[in-house]
Amino acid sequence: MRLMIIGSLGSHISEAGKIALAKGANVIHAEDIEEALGALRSGSGADIVMIDVRQDIEKFIASLKNEHISVPVVACGVENDAKVAVGAIKAGAQEYIPLPPDAELISAVLEAAVNENIDMIASDPAMVSVVEMAKKVAPSIATVLITGPSGTGKEVMSKYIHAKSKRADKPLISLNCAAIPENLLESELFGHEKGAFTGAIARRIGKFEEASGGTLLLDEISEMPMNMQAKLLRAIQEKIIDRVGGKEPVKVDIRLIATSNRDLPAEVKAGNFREDLYFRLNVINLDLPALKDRPKDILPLAEMFADKYSEENELAFKKKLSDGAIEKIMSYHWPGNVRELENTMHRAVLISNENDIEPDAIILSEIEKNNSLNIDIDDGAENAIAAFAPKTVADVEKELILNTLDHCFGNRTHAAKILGISIRTLRNKLKQYGEDTSLDKENMSV
C-alpha cells in the first residue's frame, strides 16, 4: 500500500506517516500540494493521500478531478480544528483524522480506504480448482485473463495473483476501462506531454508507466473502444508505449491482468473485440464460477461479511447467522453473486434486532424473480409483454434497472455489473427516466 503524506515533516502529520510505515506502507512525502501533484503526475502513484488541513485541500482535490487522477484523500488536523475538518470534508476529503494520530485509527482508515482484502474463500470444488490454478501461475509473468459473471470477485482474484507474484513488493495499478471517457482513455493508459491537448497543463505519466515493474490490471477490458484495442496490443507486444504528444517511445515492464464479464469469443465474432488482442490476453484464463455454482462457499462468505461489517460498524459483538437466516441464504440463487451476498450481509448486520441475524434481516432482491423469465434487457424479449401484461418491454426494463439500482444502494457501477450492461448504457437509460446522471466519485475509481 502506497501512502502519500502532504504537509510539513515537523508537524503531527509526519507521525501518521511513521505509523503507516511501521505497518508496512510505502510512504511518499510532499511538503505542499504542488509538490504532491508533481509526484502524482510523474508516476509516483499513491493508493491514498493524507493531507494536513492547513493545506489548500479544495484546490488539491479540484486539481485531481481536473487531471483525472483518482485517489482517496484523508484530511488530518488537530482535534480542536472542527470547522476546518468540516470544510475539508465538504471540499471532498473522504475522512478526517484528528492529530496527534492514534495508531489504531490510522490502521482502520488506511485499511478501509484501500480495501486490501485479498483473502480467497474456496471450499467448493468449483472454486478450489480456480484458486489452485491462480497459485500456480501467480509467480510467472504470464498475462492472465479473468472472466466470469459480474460480482464473482474478479478484482479480488487479481489482487490475490499480484500478492502471490514475484512483483508483490511493486505496485498493482488498476484502471476501469468502462469508467473513463473514450477521449481520455489513451492519456490514462499511456500518459501525455504538456500541451498535448486542451487541459494538458503538465506532463502526466499513464498507468503503464506507473505500473512499470509491477502489475497492471485492466478491469472490464471488453468495454475498451476498438481503436484503443489496437494501441493496447502494440504496447503489450512490444513493451513500449507512446505518450500522447510525445516524440520518443517509452519502455515499460508490466505484468498484465485483464478482466471481463462478457463472452469475449462471442464479442470477437460480433466484431466488438479484436481477435489478436483476445489471443494475446488469453495466455492463462481463470473463469470464476457464479456463486450458485459454488454452494459450499456461500455460508463461509456470508459469515466473513457478517464479521467484517460488525467490526466496521463497531457493534458490541459480532453478528452471527441464525439457523433460519442460513436456510434463507442457502436456498437463494444469488443473481448478483458475491457482491450481492456482501451487500445483503452488510444490510442484515445493520438492521438485525437480535443477537443472531434473524431471517427477516436477510432482505433478498426481486431480481431473481425477473431473471427467472430470462429477459435480456439489452436485446429485449418478445415474451415479456405476455409475462407482464399490460406492461410494455420498456416498462419491464425500467422497473428492473431501477430496482437493481435501489438494491445496490445507488451504486451505479455495481448495478451495471449485476445487469450485465456498461456504465454508459446505464447512464443513458437513467437519463431517459429523468434520473440524475452524475456518477459519484467513488464509482469512477477502480
Which pLDDT belongs to residue 268?
Answer: 96
Instruction: Indicate the fold that domain 368-444 takes in CATH.
Output: Arc Repressor Mutant, subunit A (1.10.10)
Q: Are residues 50 and 36 in contact, defined by beta-carbon separation less than 8 angstroms? A: no
Neighbours of 320 (CB within 10 A): 16
CB proximity list for 190: less than 8 A, separation 6 or greater: 206, 208, 209, 231, 235, 241, 242, 243, 244
* Nearest one of 253, 260, 64 to 150, comparing CA atoms: 260
Which pLDDT belongs to residue 383?
Answer: 43
Which secondary-structure segment (H or E) carries 258?
A: strand 255-260
Distances (CA, A) of 395 to 293, 372, 381: 31, 17, 12
Burial of 88 from C-beta contacts in 10 A (0-12 / 13-18 / 19+)? buried
- Amino acid, single-letter form, for residue 174: S
Cis before residue 390, ω within 30 degrees of 0? yes
**Distance from C-alpha of 347 to C-alpha of 97, rounded to nearest angstrom:** 26
Sign of CA dihedral 284, 296, 218, 375: positive
Cell reading at 179: 469508467
pLDDT tens series, the chain, 446 aa? 788 889 887 777 777 778 877 777 778 888 999 999 988 887 777 888 999 888 899 999 988 888 777 788 888 887 666 677 778 888 888 878 887 777 777 766 666 555 445 668 899 999 999 999 999 999 999 999 999 999 999 999 999 999 999 998 888 999 999 888 888 899 999 999 988 887 778 888 899 999 999 999 999 999 999 999 999 999 999 999 999 998 899 999 999 999 999 999 999 999 999 999 999 999 999 999 999 999 999 999 999 999 988 887 777 677 789 999 999 999 999 999 999 999 999 999 988 888 899 999 999 875 444 443 343 444 444 443 333 334 555 676 787 788 777 766 676 776 776 676 777 778 778 877 774 434 343 343 33
Which pLDDT belongs to residue 409?
Answer: 60
**Distance from C-alpha of 357 to C-alpha of 317, rounded to nearest angstrom:** 12
Which pLDDT belongs to residue 376?
Answer: 44
Phi, psi of 99 (to 5 degrees): -115, 150
* Nearest one of 282, 280, 294 to 151, comparing CA atoms: 294
* Nearest one of 100, 95, 124 to 111, comparing CA atoms: 95
Which pLDDT belongs to residue 182?
Answer: 83
- Pairing, β 240-241 against β 250-251: antiparallel
Q: Are residues 175 and 446 in contact, defined by beta-carbon separation less than 8 angstroms? A: yes
Instruction: Indicate the fold that domain 292-364 takes in CATH.
Output: Helicase, Ruva Protein; domain 3 (1.10.8)
CATH class, 125-289 region: alpha beta
Instruction: Give the rounded distance of the alpha carbon of 136 from its chain centre.
Output: 25
Burial of 436 from C-beta contacts in 10 A (0-12 / 13-18 / 19+)? exposed
- Amino acid, single-letter form, for residue 361: A
- Axis-axis angle for helices 13-22, 103-114 (nearest 10): 70
CATH for 2-114 (3.40.50.2300, 3.40.50.300, 3.30.930.10, 3.60.15.10): 3.40.50.2300
Helices (H), 295-411: 298-312, 323-330, 337-351, 367-371, 384-388, 393-407
Whole-model pTM?
Answer: 0.66
Which pLDDT belongs to residue 78?
Answer: 75
Are 2-114 and 292-364 equal in CATH topology? Answer: no
Domain range list for the chain? 2-114, 125-289, 292-364, 368-444
